Amino acid sequence: MNKPKKESKTKQQKKAEPRASSPKAEKSAAPKSLDKTVGGISFTVDQKSISAILAAMNPICGKRTTLEVTNCILFEVGYKELILKSTDLEISLQSSCPIEESTLDEPKSFLVLGKRIFEVVKELEGMITCTLTSNQLIMRAGGVTLALNIKDAQEFPPFPERIENLMHVDAPQLSAMLDGVAFLIPQTNANPALNGLFVEINDKQMTLTATDGHCLAQVRTSQYTLKEEKSWLLPRRAIFELKKILDGCPDKTLFIGTCGNQLVFSGEVFNFFTKLLADSFPQYKAIMDRTDFAPATIDRTQFIKTLRRSATLLSGQFLATQFHFKTHAVEVRMNNKEVGTLQEEVPVSASLTEEMDVRFYAPYLLNGLQSFSDDELTFYLKNNTKPIVFESTKPEMSLTYLVMPVAPVNTNA
């Protein structure tokens, strides 16, 4: 793909810019707030189209913030397009849907409680005719008529503008990459830097990394690059809301850009904004060094079943499972004095110079191995103080999952 230049816009940037904000919104005058003179103005939208947008915005406007007005969704009604905006001051979503019929003589804007209109529209069917009065939005669909109170749009906080597009990516592939790492992002880790996804893009590859301090997950692809190296730490919540949007929209191409201190993901009809975490992500590259590690392979399905059986004996306790690696097999032993014991052997193919005993917490292994689809898992070992590293390399992306061992029991204590 073409690389963006600092002084002039590339073809990619020119192509991306119309998606950064609604073209119709730019051409028309800024929507005016409602006043007491409004009446009899109506427009018609498709229930499925607007319901999908409201569903994506509901988690955003449902979060409490320092501004009460953020529990509302901003409606900007144009001649042929309805633009909706929602924000919780950390993440924001702008999306649009076509207006089928309209009697507007000029653009209008107003606020509606997000949760209320989401619940109402969800129960309607077919085309919805919306009529504006000075203080209400009246919706009619079939034989149903519902009215919701509205507020002045001027109360809504300013929305991000002036998006600088950097690159475009394949939306389904980005969603798959997020699947490989997002599960590991902690919610409330004592180290704030761990509560996010670290995104790095340079002239060789795009890398997504997450860690909880015990494990590390990383996906890489060489399909997306930037001449000027970039890195961002995205909040966990932003990643999961973006994932919902990607899974629910038909767009094949997604544009990534910046807007001040925010990162922006743009599709055909939406812009998703997220503020960035200011904390520094841990220096992780040293722990991923595989110098002198021995490679091995194991049947993924059989190994996962063994780990699940081991995990059933935990009974809510943090107990390590013992793994005795040999050249042709690994002996798995679990002992919980309150529940019972497990001992089984799983075939492996390893290039070990000597047998090795390592202790791991089975759920840590299970969490990451769910992201792999290979029939045969490739992993690397060195000793009982170094991590076990699982890796899968495919043309579209590479996946790495690393788990730190549990310290050996001090028998002399």
Fold of 289-403: DNA Polymerase III; Chain A, domain 2 (3.10.150)
Residues 151-165 as b/e (b if ≥16 CB within 10 A, e otherwise) read: bebeebeebbeebeb
Strands 108-113 and 32-33: parallel
Same fold, 164-275 and 289-403: yes
Q: Per-residue confidence at 26, pLDDT binned at 50, 70, 90? A: very low
Cα–Cα distance for residue pair 154/260, rounded to 1 Å: 22
Q: Is 68 left (phi over 0), alpha (psi -120 to 50) or beta?
A: alpha
Q: 179-221: per-residue pLDDT in tens? A: 999 999 999 899 999 999 999 999 999 999 999 999 999 999 9
pLDDT tops 80 at residue 8: no
The encoded tokens of residue 196 equal 């996010």
Cα–Cα distance for residue pair 233/281, rounded to 1 Å: 7
Nearest to 356 by CA among 393, 376, 330, 380: 330
Residues 90-105 as b/e (b if ≥16 CB within 10 A, e otherwise) read: ebbbbbbbebeebebe
Q: Where in the chain are the domains?
A: 28-155, 164-275, 289-403
Q: What is the pLDDT of residue 161?
A: 81
Percent of the chain surpassing pLDDT 90: 79
Fold of 28-155: DNA Polymerase III; Chain A, domain 2 (3.10.150)
SS3 69: helix
Cα–Cα distance for residue pair 361/215, rounded to 1 Å: 11
Mean pLDDT check: name the lowest of 16-25, 64-73, 304-313. 16-25
Nearest to 406 by CA among 354, 350, 365: 365
Homologous superfamily of the 164-275 domain (CATH): DNA Polymerase III, subunit A, domain 2 (3.10.150.10)
pTM of the model: 0.85
Please list the residues that pair with 141 across neighbouring strands: 144
Q: What is the mean pLDDT of the chain?
A: 89
Task: Fill in the amino acid letter for 337.
Answer: K
Nearest to 388 by CA among 306, 323, 308: 323
Q: What is the pLDDT of residue 12?
A: 42
- Strands laid side by side in the 101-102 sheet: 101-102, 41-46, 127-132, 136-141, 144-149
Cα–Cα distance for residue pair 263/257, rounded to 1 Å: 6
The encoded tokens of residue 133 equal 């009065």
Region 300-315: mean pLDDT is 95
Q: What is the pLDDT of residue 32?
A: 46
